[in-house]
Amino acid sequence: MLKIENVTARPQDDPSAIIKNVSINLEKNKIYVLMGPNGSGKSTLAKVIEGDPKIILTEGSLAYKKIDITPKEPNERSLMGIFISRQNPPQISGLNVFSYLKLIYGKHHKNNLSPGEFSKLLDSEMNKLQLPLHFKERYLNEGFSGGERKKMEILQMLLIDPELIVLDEIDSGVDIDSLKTILRFLKQHHKRKKSTILFITHSPEVALKINPYKMFVMKEGRIVAENGKILIERIKNEGYETL
Amino acid sequence: MKDMKLYNPATKKTVEKISSAKNEPEWILEYRLNSLKKFEALRNKATPMEKKLLKQINYYKDPAAKKKNKWEDIPAEIKETFDVLGLPQAEKDFLAGIETQYNSEAIYGSLKRRLGKKGVVFTNIEKGLKNHPALFKRYFGKLVKPENNLYAAANGAFWSGGSFLYVPSNTQIKLPLQAYFRIGALNLGQFERTLIIVEKDSSAHYVEGCTAPSFSEEALHAGVVEVFVGENAHMRYTTIQNWSKNVQNMVTKKSSVERKGRMSWVDTNLGSKETMKYPSCYLRGEGSFGEMLSVTYSTKGQKINAGARMIHEGMGTKSRVISRSIARKGSEANYVGELRVEASAKNTKAQIRCDSLLLDEGAKSKSLPKLEIKCGRSKIEHEASATKLDEERVNYLISRGLTEMEARNAIIQGFIEPVIRELPLEYALEFNKLMESQIK
């Protein structure tokens, strides 16, 4: 599904979060976890997949469904079915949630829903996510709690219905009940869509709950280990130092 | 090129010509002549650029079109302007009254019978003066004085056209009353004069939308607006300003607000070469409220100074100013305002919030509020910010499938949304449309 080959990249605004010669291969219909200490380059990797213009790619390439997407813009990647949820989703004052969601839904789907039909779809997804319906009339993420922002990310993901999902610390700043809801949704989506998910987290407990097919560990900008669940247990007990 | 037959300079002769053409009472002619004296004095102190402009303009244009009542009869040129604004024909039914200005004389549409029955008067200023001399004696020129500024003085001498709205007590007008102004001839100085009186316990919303075609030389728009808000009355005055980029827009707008009355200026500026506009609220009555919601968008070659003047005189008066300006391509969008709290205005609350969004390196914005607080027992808040378009937010929206243009527009329109949402829906849509066409 996604093949990252020998990528070396550095963020313009934070040269320390450089990643070096990273290669990973994500298969269709599989769930992966990426862990690593702070500043190891995990978010930089997510941004490389997103195509963030603030990341300078000095070497390597990315292939999505065997297409070279290295030169593609983030919106093109999005329309191809790649979704990256942000660790800190920004607030956008004055941008009405309903209009925004309808706009992005329209971008990703050919069927043209009327505002009424879309509202129905949206209501049902929001109810399932336990997001109050009046959030539709609010401004995007303005005054939202950390958990609400993350749910808004998941809501966007559901509406976009992507095939490759990268979740950058979707569990941080989220209470245990919200996290349960979010994880349940991801599993359902994965089952239905047969999507590929890369889950970036700090928490071995969360990683275990996700029950990934494979897990990667990043340290100082490199992938230092790659294994099954056993690796999570090891990090849980020993931390990253021995890796 | 000047058509000498149509050209009227800034002289006593022109003033007399206007006054006699309009068959005005003696006291109005005196008012005009007194204003002319003030104008001449202020003109001596004007900048060379202002002097040059004042030499070029035509101070009076004879009536060019007969008054018409039906939409069908309104000139094609004016209908085209409506089309540019995206105003559908069907909307006329929603309009409580239509008035259109053509060559500085007003062409008035029909005012619905319903309003007439209630005693509401909505007509042109000349007809208002003719039919309601007592109201004019009491209110005309009582807020805006010729000595206030050069352009108010010019207006006092040469005013022609404009609207008169009178709302008797205990009358609510729910639909916005709309008026369109445009400049229709070369170098035509427009000196409209608008007088609005809203009596006790009444409410009204007046909307003024301006567009103008391009001219080869400078044109001046120096309107004067006076609004009197009675006890417990509510008045909203909304402006959509989109003059062509050669127009000097120098407007004087003042309101006075009695006990528990509410005055709200909603002011949006897209066009003109230069605008200076500081609508004011004299909060005279106890517990009265004044508000100014302002949006400006400026681009290459434009300088817009907009702001509010809030003068607190009564006890427990409140005011609120929200200003959002967007500037690009070396243009300048400044907040210039004044907040004055008189010693008599105990327990006053005033809030000023000015934010500007600079779309590129050359754009400039300043916030220059003048604060004069003579009463210690008042609560004043003032916040100002100038920020650049946040690339991280733009990138976030792009990563969800939006194009860069869509992402930027979403953020820019979001920035002014708190003011735009206060406009009647069709104007909000128009405004966003006009702005999008500018940003492309």
* Per-residue model confidence as pLDDT tens digits over B305-347: 999 999 999 999 999 999 999 999 999 999 999 999 999 999 9
Looking at residue B216, what is its pLDDT? 34
Q: What is residue B171's three-state secondary structure?
A: coil
Higher pLDDT, B240 or B178: B240
**pLDDT band with cut points at 50, 70 and 90 for residue B183:** very low
Q: What angle do CA A42, A45, A47 make, to 5 degrees?
A: 115
pLDDT digits (tens, 9 = 90+) for B47-71: 998 998 898 888 887 655 334 335 5
Nearest beta carbon to residue A86 from set B396, B406, B413:
B396
Say if the Cβ atoms of B399 and A78 lie within 8 Å.
Answer: yes
Is the separation of the CB atoms in B162 and B253 below 8 Å?
no
CB-CB neighbors (< 8 A) of B415 in chain A? 93-94
- Interface pTM (ipTM) of the complex? 0.95
Q: What is residue A12's three-state secondary structure?
A: coil
| Mutation site for B-interface testing, chosen from A80, A92, A100, A109 by largest number of B Cβ within 10 Å | A92
In angstroms, the separation between the Cα of residue A104 and the nearest Cα of chain B is 7
The closest of A44, A166, A50 to B396, measured between CA atoms, is A50
Say if the Cβ atoms of A84 and B399 lie within 8 Å.
Answer: yes
CB-CB neighbors (< 8 A) of B402 in chain A? 75, 103-104, 107
Say if the Cβ atoms of B399 and A54 lie within 8 Å.
Answer: no
Nearest beta carbon to residue A74 from set B398, B414, B418:
B398
Nearest beta carbon to residue A92 from set B393, B398, B399:
B393
Place of tokens 């050209």: B7
Q: CA–CA separation, B262 vs B205, rounded Å?
A: 12
Residues 6+ apart with CB under 8 A from B288: B229, B257, B258, B259, B260, B261, B262, B263, B314, B317, B318
Say if the Cβ atoms of A75 and B414 lie within 8 Å.
Answer: no
Residue B376 above 80 pLDDT?
yes
Q: What angle do CA B105, B111, B117 make, to 5 degrees?
A: 135
Say if the Cβ atoms of B398 and A75 lie within 8 Å.
Answer: yes
Looking at residue B66, what is its pLDDT? 35
**pLDDT band with cut points at 50, 70 and 90 for residue B79:** low
Looking at residue B181, what is its pLDDT? 46
**pLDDT band with cut points at 50, 70 and 90 for residue B103:** very low
**What predicted TM-score, i.e. pTM, was given to this entire model?**
0.82
In angstroms, the separation between the Cα of residue B352 and the nearest Cα of chain A is 19
The closest of A154, A164, A161 to A28, measured between CA atoms, is A164
Looking at residue B270, what is its pLDDT? 84
pLDDT digits (tens, 9 = 90+) for A173-212: 899 888 999 999 899 999 999 999 999 998 889 998 888 9
Is the separation of the CB atoms in B326 and B296 below 8 Å?
yes
Looking at residue B101, what is its pLDDT? 40
Q: What is residue B88's three-state secondary structure?
A: coil
Q: Using a CB–CB cutoff of 8 Å, tell me whether A50 touches chain B.
A: yes
Residue B185 above 50 pLDDT?
no
Q: Using a CB–CB cutoff of 8 Å, tell me whether A56 touches chain B.
A: no
Place of tokens 């889950």: A199
Say if the Cβ atoms of B401 and A104 lie within 8 Å.
Answer: yes
Nearest beta carbon to residue A104 from set B392, B400, B411:
B400
Separation in Å, CA A142 to CA A93, A96, B141: 6, 10, 46
Low-confidence ranges of chain A (pLDDT < 70): none
Separation in Å, CA B18 to CA B15, B22, B24, B32, B100: 5, 6, 9, 10, 20
Looking at residue B82, what is its pLDDT? 54
CB-CB neighbors (< 8 A) of A94 in chain B? 413-418
Please give the mean pLDDT across all residues of chain B: 84
Looking at residue B102, what is its pLDDT? 37
Q: Using a CB–CB cutoff of 8 Å, tell me whether A54 touches chain B.
A: yes
| Mutation site for A-interface testing, chosen from B399, B412, B417, B422 by largest number of A Cβ within 10 Å | B399
In angstroms, the separation between the Cα of residue B287 and the nearest Cα of chain A is 31
In angstroms, the separation between the Cα of residue A237 and the nearest Cα of chain B is 37
Is the separation of the CB atoms in A195 and A23 below 8 Å?
no
pLDDT digits (tens, 9 = 90+) for B146-169: 999 999 999 999 999 888 999 999
| Chain B positions touching chain A (beta carbons under 8 Å) | 390-393, 395-404, 406, 410-411, 413-418
Higher pLDDT, B386 or B434: B386
